[in-house]
Structure 1
């Protein structure tokens, strides 16, 4: 990790002598820009920020980009896509006009000449205002839902509209679909009209509140994110919001939110909070409505500014808030979920690692399997730096869990890393050290090509018994380092899904530090400086850690994981380093367990139902059109509701899981992956004993 500290120190030394007051000013003739009463302009600090960001990324980012016309075209394309991702505001004629800049955008970033970017935003702003006015005209009359016509709701790869006729027809169908979604929920036209009128008035207000800082942030990120999706600029306002979000305590639901232009989405579910305990919210879910208490009407929040949404969702400890949520995997016509949460005090700390004992009957023998749930790789940095002897960390907590499980004489331990988004790299190394004698855990390669090997130096093995690690697609970052190391050492069986695939290292730079003579706030740059590699030389980037036994995955890796992120750094391999193969897991065992797993699935009705659900869900994602006929949609909704009710992944457990605690029994009953993991564990033990 010293490699990252060295890079940051060098960056600061290299740029510290830059003076904001000394950099050149650029005067632009704005006579040719589009006239508008809301025309926004860049100011001088944005020009200097642009130049600085270019220099920082060019010199220090892990990925080296050639600054040329090809890059320029990508900047323009990304900027347009950031403004209009669904291609529902710009015309083809607008795109043709913007293309006059396609070979110059890189030069504009380098020189700080930002007027073309602001001109493009002005066109966008005008187009949005025109569309909102058109929506208000559509709401004067109730749509006719007896007509058989379809609406193509996914336009990401469609052609740009050529004229008003095409644009108006699309928006007529879009609003008709919005009304139909409300009508299917049982609401009348007067109510639906009022809901949409309020929604687009809020959207109108949101658009009118965009300022010069907002435009610069959108544009410059169209450049930074060409390096990789984790390299981002935060405007001073958003940087401050980030600091507020990281404050230690507040009262609410325990979720961080983010906003695209229209929707509020879940960015992070904070361990231990009401949202986390409910198990009903996930990253990527859209919040479309908020209701206060158990009886309050839902307020439609589509188009609201994020600050206003947060104000509605936060509240006094013990009070109830209800959210209308469109799940990230749902289709446009799916009925939104209602999530009831009781607000609570939320401490911005990670939930502790916890353990349970799961009994399992197999051939008249009861196995006791310990399970340790690790929500993140947490550590109390402040206490550790102060030298507090028993500072809090995931490694210390897991060690205590292992001691407790040893005292209970368990037959083996499952480490549940599902939805573990990572955390401290050092904790990933230390935690690995509980299960191996000593040796390398991860390699870190900097942008200069320097490779640093991080090792576990503690020769003590805290647990040397049978081990299984359960992952899913949202097991990410440091948890992938831990999983990858245990797989490389053949220390434990890895089951579940391939992990998320985030194998890069970022650091946050305050841009004010590079302009010591100014009092202006200049925001922050998050920059990718290095990349993780396993001890076998393979990166965890994009492909993640592949399991020995793979479970079916409802989430498409091309949609939800690092593999889906545009410009994500590619997987590659460096040299393998020397390490001791523990060889607890070997090919004969893996082949045996894969064969057993296939039989388990074939003979388990709940798994068969689940597989059918997975296949139906993936198939439905391929459909990009939807009927606007009320009777057709109502029939489809009833059929989907019937399918969802028939989906039962629970089983009668009393014979194979002799569990007395009702809460644990319900957990096993409703967690098909956990059940299969326990079965595989017992089959692994039986194979080892035979």
Structure 2
């Protein structure tokens, strides 16, 4: 079987690496911000590679070129707070033949735009610093729109002045709501704005080229990106299995660094204090190092601050996604540590004493990642670790303990080895296809389980959520298509594409300079029923109520994502599940009475409301009231659930926190969905038993 390794890494960087000694960057003169011959060569090669090998065919016409320009302007100025309408009009005139320019590797317009951008940043920063010298009236009824309501660019400086007045007020008020004194706030914001200008001045030609080329590639599709030589080096570091860090995947979102996901076995996930969607607003070194404000920093610079050697401490200041733009920052400490394969290993436990199935036990297998120790396998070690091998052992143990069914927990599992997704499916089916892979030339390969026999033939369910991606979706889709088990939870992420790294120098023989690499989308996964896992993900047979409040999440939230489509189904024998409607009704009745699901549903509803916010009030009393109401509702729902489970809630704002008690609290919350999925599985077991014909007694 072919081995492919893929991970869920959309526009993000995996923090698993120790920091190397970094040179202090210096300001780059405007006179040096022009394309060099290496940029031209790279651009020409990128064009050719995209046209020949990308899964989505490139049509480099004037319409597409205009979209590239728009994407570039959005990358530089997402809130339309720097450029003026007259700047953009000049750019559009200069880019009338951008399609031809891209074919020739002519990048003058990209560098021209950046030079203007740098000057506009200087103007806006100077204005922001002047505003900080004055006072602000937080009693007036007005608001700040952090997403521009008007798609048009500002026509004059006065319009931008007012936008920046509100922006500075919002920045000031956000820190005041975190109980920072005004003097500290002014000092912190001064450093933030000066740092913004300083970092823009440190962009060199390679940085400008990479920014523009990524606007080009992501106009085509969101997972294709260009990596300069420096970025390629960081990527190599990040993909190694045994390095130190906090174990988090980050992405840039406007001026914030956002947690995309956490890595199994890493300090971030193990702490239980960092969650998807949290914004990192400050980074400090050691137990008492000064906290550096990182709002407005480039993702790469934030990554460099968070990296560090094993055993060292990094402190992060976070804005919780649950609190939104009005929330208070919290500070956490993490000890950087080595992330090893065994830390990501599958684990199991038994759920019993459930009300709907007295005497029945359900075995739960948690799979945080699809892992395979390729190094040990390659060296000839026959006992190498893998997801399938570990799960087979866990199944044997659970069966020996007399479980009535097995639940596979794939929540938060972002992917891993395709070979493992295929072989894991083989533990539950006899033989047959598992997933289809279609490449850029239309050729379809089928990954199949060829090992006869099964490790477990009893009742099965798979628990998924919005962060289950790639290999998780392949496994869940195969189990669903075969009718082998119930899929329970939320619609999955929807990452159904395959990427590969291409060294651009291979297309320019004899080139002495490093031209960088291209991360290229070159194939797509399809279920054995013919439908793709792309965009839609896997739809559960039984949805949890939190799914109703999912906005645009995962692949569905990305610009220019490949559409859902289908190909011919593979040859396989599936069985339809029976009784799903009844199981859904029984689950809904329990969930309606469950304080845990009430809490989770209210959280999801709150998240949806926050995500849909486009502006916030600049009136302090209004903001404080909204902040306190949200925190109170969040805490009351959580405390109510914990007390219903006989657990005393932990005051997470206290100076001294009982970490053991906090761990009990977190595990109880994590068990809410697992316990209900186990109850659903028990309902299925009882339903199946009720359908069996009674034995006829004979004399």
| Equivalent position of 1:89 in the other structure | 82
| Correspondence for 2:683 | 683
Which of 553, 557, 565 lines up with 2:558 in the alignment? 565
Query: The residue matched to 1:64 in structure 2 has which SS?
Result: coil
Deviates more, 1:234-243 or 1:156-165: 156-165
1:643 alignment counterpart: 633
Aligned pair partner of 2:63 in 46, 62, 70: 70
Instruction: Indicate if the aligned counterparts of 1:377 and 1:428 stay in contact, CA closer than 8 A.
Output: yes
Pairing 1:428-577 to 2, within 5 Å after superposition = 428-553=421-546, 558-577=551-570
Post-superposition offset of 1:146: 2.3
Which position in structure 1 is the counterpart of 2:674?
A: 674
Q: Aligned equivalents of 1:559 and 1:363: distance in 2?
A: 35
For 1:66 and 1:308, the matched residues in 2 are separated by 34
Spell out the pairing of 1:307-322 with structure 2 (5 A cutoff).
309-310=302-303, 312-315=305-308, 317-322=310-315
Is the CA contact (8 Å cut-off) linking 1:420 and 1:474 kept in structure 2? yes
Aligned CA distance change for structure 1 residues 445 and 319 (closer, same or farther; 3 Å): closer
> 1:575-607: CA deviations, max 9, x gaps?
122212244x22xx1111111122112222332
Give 1:222 deviation, angstroms.
1.5
Residues 329 and 612 from structure 1, CA distance in 2 versus in 1: closer, same or farther, beyond 3 angstroms? Answer: closer
CA distance in 2, matches of 1:559, 1:253: 28
Specify the alignment match of 1:11 in structure 2.
Answer: none
Name structure 1 gaps, 5 residues minimum: 6-35, 656-660
Structure 2 counterparts to residues 137-216 of structure 1, below 5 A: 137-155=130-148, 158-216=151-209
Partner residue, 2:418: 425
Aligned match of 1:624 = 614
1:56 deviates by: 0.7
Q: Is 2:356–2:683's contact at 8 Å kept on the other side of the alignment?
A: no
Q: How far apart are the structure 2 equivalents of 1:93 and 1:556?
A: 41
Cα offset, 1:148, TM superposition: 2.3
Deviation at 1:314, TM superposition (A): 4.1
Deviation at residue 301 of structure 1 after TM alignment = 2.3
Match of 1:29 in 2: none
> Cα distance, 1:666 vs. partner?
6.0
Residue in 2 that maps onto 1:407: 400
Secondary structure of 2:607's counterpart equals: helix
Distance between the aligned counterparts of 1:38 and 1:334, measured in 2? Answer: 43
Q: 1:243 aligns with which of 236, 245, 254?
A: 236
User: Following the alignment from structure 1 to structure 2, what is the Cα–Cα distance between the partners of residues 552 and 119?
Assistant: 50
* Residue number in structure 1 paired with 2:696: none
Q: Does the 8 A contact of 1:532 with 1:540 survive in 2?
A: yes
- Structure 2 distance, partners of 1:102, 1:349, is 53
Deviations 1:419-441 (A, max 9, x none): 11111111111110000000111
Query: What is the distance in 1 between the residues matched to 2:3 and 2:313?
Result: 48
- Measured against aligned partners, the alpha-carbon deviations of 1:651-670 in whole angstroms (never above 9, x if no partner) come to 64489xxxxx9978962455
Give distance in 2, aligned partners of 1:201 and 1:500. 38
Q: Secondary structure at the match of 1:600?
A: helix
Assess, with a 3 A threshold, how the Cα gap between structure 1 residues 667 and 540 changes in structure 2: closer, same or farther: same
Q: Please state how far the C-alpha of 1:382 moved relative to its aligned partner.
A: 2.2
Q: Give the TM-score taking structure 1 as reference length.
A: 0.89
CA distance in 1, matches of 2:334, 2:479: 38
What's the counterpart of residue 594 of structure 1?
Answer: 584
Once the 2 structures are TM-superposed, how far is the Cα of residue 460 of structure 1 from its aligned partner?
Answer: 1.4
* Cα 1:94–1:59 shift into 2, 3 Å: same
Hey, what's the Cα distance between the residues in 1 that align with 2:642 and 2:356? Answer: 22
Query: 1:311 Cα shift?
Result: 5.2
Using the alignment, how far apart are the partners of 1:419 and 1:144 within structure 2? Answer: 44
Contact 1:350–1:375, Cα closer than 8 Å, also in 2: no
For the residues of structure 1 that align with 2:631 and 2:666, how far apart are their CA atoms?
23
Partners of 2:240 and 2:356 in 1: CA distance? 53
* 1:272 counterpart = 2:265: yes
DSSP 3-state at the match of 1:607: helix
User: How far apart are residue 266 of structure 1 and its match?
Assistant: 3.0
Deviates further, 85-94 or 290-299: 290-299
Contact 1:87-1:156 at 8 Å conserved across structures: no
TM-aligned CA distance change 1:390 to 1:292, over 3 Å: same
* 1:622–1:345 CA distance, 2 compared to 1 (3 A): closer
Structure 1 residues 664 and 333: alpha-carbon distance in aligned structure 2, compared to 1, 3 A threshold: closer
Residue 385 of structure 2 is matched in structure 1 by 392
Does structure 2 retain, via aligned residues, the 8 Å contact 1:473–1:555?
A: no
Verify the 8 A CA contact 1:245 1:256 in the aligned structure 2: no
Name the stretch that deviates more: 55-64 or 549-558: 549-558
1:603 aligns with 2:593: yes
Task: Within 5 Å, give how 1:368-383 maps onto structure 2.
Answer: 368-383=361-376
RMSD of equivalent CA atoms: 2.6
Q: Secondary structure at the match of 2:429?
A: coil
Change (3 A) 1:557 1:214: farther
Aligned pair 1:110/2:103, yes or no? yes
Which region of structure 1 is more displaced relative to structure 2, 276-285 or 463-472? 276-285
Tell me if structure 2 keeps the 8 A contact 1:650–1:670: no
| 1:245-268 CA distance string (max 9 Å, x none) | 234444432234455674333355
Superposed CA offset, 1:290-347 (max 9, x none) = 3455666533222445565445434565554332112345421122233332333334
Alignment match, 1:358: 351
Question: CA 1:236 to 1:157, structure 2 compared with 1: closer, same or farther past 3 Å?
Answer: farther
Provide the C-alpha distance between the structure 1 equivalents of 2:83 and 2:410, rounded to a whole number of angstroms: 44
Q: CA deviation at 1:165?
A: 1.1
Give the SS at the match of 1:526: strand
Comparing both chains, which one has the higher relative contact order based on Cα–Cα distances under 8 Å and sequence gaps of 6 or more?
2
Deviation at 1:558, TM superposition (A): 4.7
Distance 2:181 2:636 in 1: 30
Aligned-partner Cα distance in 2 for 1:424–1:107: 40
Equivalent residue number for residue 614 of structure 1 = 604
Shift of 1:355: 0.8
Q: Distance in 1 between matches of 2:302 and 2:554?
A: 27
Question: What secondary structure, in the 3-state scheme, does the structure 1 residue paired with 2:546 have?
Answer: coil
